[in-house]
Amino acid sequence: MNNFYLSQVRLKDFDASEGLNRGAGKFKEACWYIVKMFFFLTAFPIPSGLKARMLRLFGAKVGNGVVIKPRVNIHFPWKLEIGDDVWLGEEAYLLNFEQMVIGNNVCISQRAFLCGGNHNYRHPAMPYRNAPIVLMDGCWVGACVFIGPGVTVGTDTVITAGSVVTASVSQNGIFKGNPLTFVSERWK
């Protein structure tokens, strides 16, 4: 390997206990992982109402009419708020190290990745740099979209399939791509 430039990164100095408040004890988290494995990560079509009740049992705030497809991965339900009439598509991944708020009438399509976790890459130990994610009412997150920490998606906004969102976007817009670009208003 070429050593003409020595790296300053020191991953051995990373401290997983700094910068991440798990929000629950180890026992609760272990119980959630077991429930998640058998009822959420399975391809078997467990009824959405049952999944919603399980999320509530673990501290999530979940509205009415929520549809949760198979293989949805929710990291910390106690840091999750879901409004009414929300659709969570198959294999959606909600990595909510911080609070994640999903408004009413929101569609999160297949394999969307809402990632509230990050690392400070300017520090040699790369400590956590996590932030909340908010999806306002009526927005649609297309298939295979990545949404990063600290992002708010505005009311009635559409993020088209395969897009990458690393900064908040306004309401009533259609956005696409990487880098993300504004296409047009959704409702004229």
pLDDT tens over the chain, length 188 residues: 566 788 999 999 999 888 889 999 999 999 999 999 999 999 999 999 999 999 999 999 999 999 999 999 999 999 999 999 999 999 999 999 999 999 999 999 999 999 999 999 999 999 999 999 999 999 999 999 999 999 999 999 999 999 999 999 999 999 999 999 999 999 99
DSSP calls for the chain: ---SS-----GGG--TTSS---SS-HHHHHHHHHHIIIIISSSS---HHHHHHHHHHTT-EE-SS-EE-TT-EES-GGGEEE-SS-EE-TT-EEE-SS-EEE-TT-EE-TT-EEE---B-TTSTT--B----EEE-TT-EE-TT-EE-TT-EEPTT-EE-TT-EE-S-B-TTEEEETTTTEEEEES--
pLDDT for position 63: 98
pLDDT for position 59: 98
pLDDT for position 3: 64
45-71 per-residue burial string, b: 16 or more CB within 10 A, e: under 16: ebebeebbebbeebebebbeebebbbb
pLDDT for position 12: 93
pLDDT for position 6: 87
pTM attached to this predicted model: 0.93
pLDDT for position 166: 97
> Which amino acid makes up residue 17?
S
pLDDT for position 143: 98
pLDDT for position 123: 93
pLDDT for position 2: 62
